[in-house]
Amino acid sequence: MQPIEGSYVALITPFRNGRIDEGRLRRLVDFHIKNRTDGIVPCGTTGESPTLSHEEHKRVIRIVINQARGRIPVMAGTGSNSTDEALELTADAKKSGADSALLVCPYYNRPMQRGMYLHFGRIASRVKILIFIYNIPSRTGVNLEPETLAMLSRDFSNIAGVKEASGSVDQARRIIKLCGRNFCLLSGDDALTLPMMAVGGRGVISVLANIMPGEVSRMVRMFLTGDAGAAMKIHRRLLPLMKALFIETNPIPLKTAMMLMKMDSGEMRLPLSPMSAQNLVKLKKTLRQFDLLK
C-alpha cells in the first residue's frame, strides 16, 4: 500500500431538510477528485459525526466509498467514547471498503493513558484496517501522550499514524522521534500544517481543503518534494482564510462559507447554531479577499 500523505479533506456532511443530502455528498467527492485532493475523511468533527445516528454514520461512509470507486483513498471517521461502538463502526467501515479509519480519543470519559492504550489496542487487534488516531485535547478533554502512542504503534502494526491536533509542534516532534519515520503524522490544524511538516509530518487532514482543495494540496506537495519556500508562500497567503474558518466553532464558519459559495445548503444540526451577524461580516470580507464570492 502506498504511504498515506498529502492533503486529506475533513469532509462536511451536507444536509437538506434535516436529512443527508446524498446528491450533494456525491458531487463533493467528485469535486475533490477533480481538484487533486489526496484523500477524503468522512464522519469526522467537520462532518458533524456527533449528531449522526449510527445508521446515518455508516451510510455516509458507504456513499463516499461508493462514489470514490477507488479513485481516491477514503479514511473513515469511526471513533467513539464507547469502545464497543467504535469497534462496530470501524468493522463496518472495513466491510464497506474503507482504506483506513480515523478514531478520535475517547471524549467525556477522560480515560487514563492505560485506558486509551486498551481502547485503541482492542480495536486494532480485532479489525485489520489501517488506523489513525485523532488526538484533539481541546474537544476530548484528554491528551494522548507520545509515549502511549509509541507503545501502540509498536504493539499494533496496523496503527499507522496520528491526526495531531494538540496545537503543540513540540509534541509532534516527540511523536515522530518516539514512533519513527514510518509512523505517519498528519496535522489536524491547517495553520500548523507546515510547522508540523517541518519536524517530520507528512501532511494534513484539512478543513480549508473543503473550499480550496487545489491550493492546500499544492502547498503540501511542494513541501514534500523539497520546495519549502514555495510552500511557505502559499501558507502565508492562505493563513487569513485558515483563521477565518475558525472564528466560531468548526464547522459553522466552513458550512456558512460553502453556502455563500453555493457549494452547500449551509444546514447544520443542533446544537450548532447559525453564525453571528458580526462574524458573518468578517467571513464575507475574507472570502471576497480570496475571490471566493461571485
Catalytic residues: 134, 163
CA distance linking residue 89 with residue 131, whole number of Å: 13
Helix (H) or strand (E) holding 159: strand 159-164
Determine the 3-state secondary structure of 176 from DSSP: helix
154-178 b/e (C-beta count within 10 Å ≥ 16 → b): eebeebbbbbbbbebbebbbbbbeb
Q: Is 46 annotated as a binding residue?
A: yes
CA distance linking residue 14 with residue 47, whole number of Å: 8
Q: Are 7 and 38 in contact (CB under 8 A)?
A: yes
Which residue in this structure is represented by grid cell 479514511?
75
Determine the 3-state secondary structure of 205 from DSSP: strand
Q: Is 140 annotated as a binding residue?
A: no
Q: Are 176 and 198 in contact (CB under 8 A)?
A: no
CA distance linking residue 98 with residue 34, whole number of Å: 20
Binding residues for pyruvate: 46, 205
